[in-house]
Amino acid sequence: MTSDGSAERLSPALRTEALEQLLTERGLVDPDAMDRLITRYETNVGPLNGAKVVARAWTDPAYRRRLLDDGTAAIAELGFGGPQGECIVVVENTATTHNVVVCTLCSCYPWPVLGLPPSWYKDPAYRARIVREPRTVLSEMGLELPGDVQIIVRDSTSEVRWLVLPERPAGTEGLTEEQLVPLVTRDAMVGVAKVEAP
């Protein structure tokens, strides 16, 4: 307790650890199962998968066409799919069109290729404001777009989840698919950032 009698605020990590310990002590959670789940989302599901999809599309024109025609099937070609990835539509950012993704109702998100949604994606302010004033919100997040670039806000739902194929940065033409993967960020695949050249 603090001097005013209120409980001290614990960090989210400490609260999570305390909750896990309590659930384990009561036999409600198997720690091994929890570790497997965490490992899955750290290594098998997440933004690295999406980065591999993007890098393949940047280096393989035939794959890029398949990805834009049927995102779910093209993503499955690379072995990514499952819950929250049953129907993924991929849209491409260009010099004249910029796509950004939101889920206005909750936080629908393509987990197999982006992992767990970041806290800002679930924030009610982001969900409301990105629809009303996308250019302002993107600017506040550090992405300045020219006034002549059309911004399209894509609303994910439980039926359709969106993935942005970001523009390939200039100066990366000589890089291999493997060299491109580390450049691609989760935020670029949501549309709140651009991919920066190395």
Numbered residues of the known binding site for Fe(3+): 103, 106-108
**Is 108 considered catalytic here?**
yes
Give the annotated binding-site residues.
103, 106-108
Cα–Cα nearest to 98, from 66, 56, 143, 63: 143
Nearest 10 degrees: Cα torsion 143, 108, 75, 101 = -20
d(CA 11, CA 18): 11
- What one-letter code names the amino acid at 133? E
Strand partners, 34: none
Catalytic residue (one of 3, 6, 87, 107):
107
Cα–Cα nearest to 115, from 13, 39, 33: 39
Contact call for residues 175 and 184 (beta carbons, < 8 A) = no
Catalytic residue (one of 106, 119, 139, 158):
106
Three-class secondary structure of residue 139 per DSSP: helix
Catalytic residue (one of 6, 11, 87, 103):
103
**Is 87 considered catalytic here?**
no
The per-residue b/e assignment along 96-132, b for 16 or more CB within 10 angstroms, e otherwise, is: eebbbbbbeeebbbbbbbbbbbbeebeeeebbeebee
**Which residues participate in catalysis according to the annotation?**
103, 106-108
